[in-house]
Structure 1
Amino acid sequence: MKKQLVASSVLFGIFLVSGTYYSCSNKESGGDPENMAWIICTDNSLDTTTYYVSVNGNDGNSGMSPATAFKSLVRAFTVIRPGGTIRILPGTYNTGIGLQLCGDPAAPITVEGYQGVPVLDGQNSIAIGIFCEGCKNMIFRNLKIQYYTDIGIGVENGNTFLFSNLEVLENGHAVQLTDWELEGYGIHVDYSENIEIRNNTVYRNGPEPQIFPNYLMGTGINTFGNKNVVIADNESYRNIGGGILVEDSYDVIVERNNIYENDLDATVDEWWDGGIWLDGGENVTIRDNNIHDNIGPGMEVSNEDNQWIQGYILENNKCNNNYYGIYIWGFGTTTWPDTAIIQNINNDFTGNSVQDVWIHP
């Protein structure tokens, strides 16, 4: 089982990152600019204002047009309200932001690249690009997120999120937040509901160098303990670890993803990661994915904690030219588990170099 983020409370990050802290109605209170800025939303009243951010802007501006843009994302997040939009103009932004208790079910907060694709760059020193804790109804799209030591973008205890058209690369190489039990992720979602992860390109995320035993395998798209999730039409490749993890989650669809050339070899610690790894939970459908050329199992399905599992559907997946086509373990059988647990429908597990179907108790 992958290690998961462990957050303690609403102010989960304060004792971990000595950064800058804000309320959505206050100005900055000082701190180390190389670390993350944490914003606690105290006003979630609806407001449809669109704010602009530009590398050539000024935080003293109104932010309400490209010509009067803010300079920093932090400034924009201190004024945005549910129903509003932050449009980020092209350029490179060296920032890391934590959001707490932001958003409202009535209207989304949208954060998007505008007139091109802006780059959020952690310079291999900032822990996380954007992290949302206890937030609701947010959209992140058309951004490039790179070189954060722990996570590119993530959410915990959230509800109703869309991550789309993101390019998330070279994150998680040197985890700093060791108390969070991370292993290095591109997109990370845990303990959340109503999540969509669509049309993203996620690559080269995970620990580098790998350090035995705690920092061996990261994940491109890492999800844990969630409900009602769609992971669709993504490309996840060349990660140091898995392409997609779905662990202890319910009512999930993983479809039409292209997963390839991920390094899944953790045999130094006597385990394998998976191109797509499913463990625990219930009612998960994995269909129409192309999983190929991975160093390890193209697909991995396990029951590590001996849970009561049913409703896994594996359908129309192509798992070819991996070390293993599919690796199934923890179900107490050397043959396919009962169809109430796993339905194997029209999958292609052929042409793999070591074994096409590997099942052990």
Structure 2
Amino acid sequence: MMIHGFGFLSLSASLVLPWALTGLVQGQRITESLFKDVPQPSTVQEIPLPNRKLISRISTATTYYVSGNGNDRNSGLSTSSAFRTLQRAANLTNPGDTVLIMNGQYKNAPKDGAVLGIKRSGTANAWIKYKAYPGHFPKIQHNTWSGISISNGASYIEINGLEVIGNNANITLSYALSQKYNRSNPLTNGSCISIAGGNKGRSHHINILNNKVHDCGGAGISAIQTDYVKVDNNTVFNNSWYTLYGCSGISMLNNWSSDNNQGYKIFVTNNRSYNNRMYVPWIEAGKITDGNGIIVDVSKGYRGRVLIANNLTYKNGGSGIHSHDSQNVDIINNTAYFNQQSPDVKKKGKGEIYAGYSSNVKIFNNIMYPSPGNAANSNMKNVNVNYNYNVYPNNSTIKITGSNDMIADPQFVNASARDFRLKSTSPAINSGLKWKDVPEDIQGKLRVSPDRGAYEMR
């Protein structure tokens, strides 16, 4: 069973941040007094308003600035008085605030759990946003448990346009293997962006947008016990190499229902996820199990739906995309190429895109292109899982087909150069099923007569 960093259904404190602290702030409230003139001109009488509602003080949203040349003794309120550390700004945020991050390299202090630990929430109408300053490309470099952590139930948070870099460059495989029983080593187990669950609170309404996330020993982007999450237009690569936990590029584990909405609430869309791979056995199984491009994992009780659409996944150690022990997942218009690179995974032959131990899953309009002789898909102990309108090359192992699936060369422009657009002669063009919730392709082009795969060519 492929559960990221956990012993079957139990959560491991070592994967997530064990030192998250509570940080929610409630708005103060004030009473309103009415002053009225009375016959004596020198006196003022206060009239109580027992039937009036208390009026919340209206707070003005603040923009904080952080710079590689800043100073935490500054006010943080302008580009010329920017803070130096991300945490200085994070500790001040209130609903509606924005933290604009300028060029610079941001590192964790020794023994810190994250470079940026987010524990304060926004509200439905006033999100807290952490964004790259326009035209800037800040880098978060870490050797601890997370580059960015969202914990203690922090919600209504957006992370946008940042680069998060892990510790892989400083680790050798021999060192990582020597640590394969050490659950407490952040040097090998750290993740890039982590949304933590657990008894300190569950997060909801989180947007992870337009980030570059790479070289973390653990997960690239990991969401645990969350709801209303959007992971969109991120580039995620070279993660999961050295952890003893079963991690992947993008993982949604133990999805949590914060309400009874049965529509789409979790979106994993328009991402590029590649070369995420395990080199150290998962401690619970003693073997390589994961290193997937994208996985929805152990979410059988989730009442909402998950949409995985318009993603490119290639050359990952595990599958390109799959649903494991989950329900209510739609995997639509993705392109998966030459995944299953890990020998242990390849032997199992589960597929480029597939569902296992899952229910109520639709796998439509995808291109699944395994290396020669490997499995394109599979159907393991599923209930109500449908494959249709997909494309598989004729040199692959196809374990299940839908009535409109196609066995043919999709004719990529240049797969070896990572160009997975379709040639004009591709049979995938104009042959897909129109899916109303996927109106555009990975580049934002309208899907009129839908093509199969992540790209729309006409």
Q: TM-score range by the shorter chain?
A: 0.7 to 0.9
Deviation at 1:127, TM superposition (A): 1.6
| 1:81 aligned residue (94, 106, 109) | 94
Give the structure 2 partner of residue 244 of structure 1.
294
Tell me, yes or no, if structure 1 residue 55 matches structure 2 residue 55.
no
Structure 2: runs of 5+ lacking an equivalent: 6-10, 28-58, 109-113, 168-188, 197-201, 258-264, 278-290, 402-458
Who is 2:118 aligned against? 99
Q: Does 1:132 align with 2:166?
A: no
C-alpha separation in 2, matches of 1:4 and 1:103: 28
Give the whole-Å Cα distance in 1 for the aligned partners of 2:305 and 2:122.
24
State whether residues 322 and 354 of structure 2, in contact with CA within 8 Å, keep that contact through their aligned partners in structure 1: yes
Alignment: residue pair count = 293
CA contact (8 A) 1:53 1:71 kept: yes
Deviation at 1:352, TM superposition (A): 4.9
Relative to structure 1, is the Cα distance of residues 352 and 244 closer, same or farther in structure 2, using a 3 angstrom cutoff? farther
Q: Does 1:108 align with 2:142?
A: no
Is it true that 1:291 corresponds to 2:336 in the alignment?
yes
Could you say which residue in structure 2 is the equivalent of 1:225? 254
TM-superposition CA deviations, 1:175-218 (whole Å, max 9, x none): xxxxxxxxx2000001111110000000000133x7xxx55x52
Q: Which residue of 2 aligns with 1:177?
A: none
Match among 303, 309, 315 for residue 261 of structure 1: 315
CA apart distance, 1:44: 4.3
CA RMSD of aligned residues (A): 2.2
What does 1:342-357 correspond to in 2, within 5 Å? 342-353=385-396, 355-357=397-399
Structure 1 partner of 2:377:
326
Determine if contact 2:210/2:235 at 8 Å carries over to the other structure.
Answer: yes
Once the 2 structures are TM-superposed, how far is the Cα of residue 92 of structure 1 from its aligned partner?
A: 0.7
- Aligned-partner SS, 2:378: strand
**C-alpha displacement at 1:328, in angstroms?**
2.2
Give yes or no for contact 2:83–2:89 (8 Å, CA) kept in 1: yes
Counterpart of 2:18 (choices 13, 16, 30) is 13
SS in 2 for 1:67: helix
Write the letter of the residue equivalent to 1:223. M
Unaligned runs of 5+ in 1: 15-37, 174-183, 265-273, 304-308, 332-336
Percent of aligned positions with the same letter in both sequences?
26
CA distance in 2, matches of 1:358, 1:42: 49
Q: 1:40 corresponds to which residue?
A: 22
SS in 2 for 1:74: helix
* Larger fraction in strand: 1
TM (normalized to structure 2)?
Answer: 0.60
Structure 2 distance, partners of 1:42, 1:311, is: 37
Distance 2:101 2:394 in 1: 45
Residue 311 of structure 1, CA deviation: 2.1
Partner secondary structure for residue 185 of structure 1:
coil
Q: Contact conserved, 2:4 with 2:248, CA < 8 A, in 1? A: no
**TM-score, L = length of structure 1:** 0.76
SS at match of 2:89: helix
Quick check: 1:44–1:103 contact (8 Å CA) kept in 2? no
Distance 1:55 1:352 in 2: 52
**How many angstroms apart in 1 are the aligned matches of 2:305 and 2:213?**
25
Structure-2 change in CA distance of 1:67 and 1:351 (3 Å): farther
Distance apart, 1:12 and its partner CA: 6.6
| 2:195 corresponds to | 155
- Aligned-partner residue type, residue 55 of structure 1: G
In structure 2, relative to structure 1, the CA distance for the partners of 1:98 and 1:282 (3 Å cut) is: same
Kindly indicate whether the alpha-carbon contact (under 8 Å) linking 1:349 and 1:357 is maintained by their aligned counterparts in 2: no
